[in-house]
Amino acid sequence: MHWILLRGLTREHAHWGSFPHRLEDAFPGHQFHRVDLPGTGVHFKDPSPDRIADIREKVRHGVDHIPAPYNLIALSMGGMVALDWAQHVTEGEVQNLVLINTSSGFSLPWRRMRPGAWPRIVRLLARRELFDREADILRLTSNQPVDLDVMKHWYSIQRQRPVGFANAYAQMKAAVAYKPLPQRPLPNALVLASKGDRIVHWSCSQAFERRWQWTLKVHPSAGHDLPMDDPEWVIQQIAYWLPQ
């Protein structure tokens, strides 16, 4: 079984940390592929489209060497790309869908991006001091005590593969405008949310449960980067849900 892992706004494959290795240990025989969105990671020199549909197509073309069907685990804006993928492919191409702390046009704008997060994120994206910027992003997205090693790692990622302001702006524009089609793409999907998320309100995940009767599980305290804050909880939820 092949899984595609997608991160969110301005984040890349290396930001998953140890999570993919934990997945491999938990699901022997499954293969987990960390894939970068255009404008990030190995594609950091490429311009990012400013529409989710165009980002989705670039991601799809980038994984055509991996045999379908695909199973998607996607965080934040990556979840928008994954959902759009599931809604615009031939039947059977996407087999399983796991969305983590994502949002869509099904929710109110101030739920999709909490009012207090807007000015902070804009300032962060425009900030030039890389170490301080990455440290602040870590503090905003995680509710765990600050880990200096993780902070240094994120700084190193940005030094090696910097995401420019133009690409960050294009991704944000795409995320803000995204609205799924009304039709449910899969009979069931796993939707994970964090009540402690200070960027996206967990009710944005609840909207998928109410609209399409998908499976929703809510973490009581983790932050936006749920796979970082409690990776074992995430893996446990996937393991419980997957046989269904």
Q: What is the pLDDT of residues 160-187, one digit of tens each?
A: 999 988 999 999 999 999 999 999 999 9
Q: How far apart are CA 70 and CA 42, in angstroms?
A: 21
The model's confidence at residue 16, banded by pLDDT at 50, 70 and 90, is very high
Write down the residue that tokens 């909490």 correspond to: 114
Pair of tokens at residue 40? 């990030």
This prediction's pTM: 0.94
Q: How far apart are CA 172 and CA 101, in angstroms?
A: 16
- Spatial neighbors of 74 by CB under 8 A, at least 6 apart, are 4, 5, 6, 81, 82, 83, 97, 98, 99, 100, 102
What is the amino acid identity at position 40?
T
For residue range 107-153, list pLDDT tens digits in order.
877 777 776 666 666 666 666 688 888 888 999 999 999 899 999 99
Q: What is the rounded average pLDDT of the residues 65-89?
A: 96
pLDDT at 130: 82
Task: Please report the sign of the dihedral spanned by the C-alpha atoms of residue 55, residue 70, residue 45, residue 130.
Answer: positive
Which residue, 101, 69, 72, is CA-closest to 233? Answer: 101
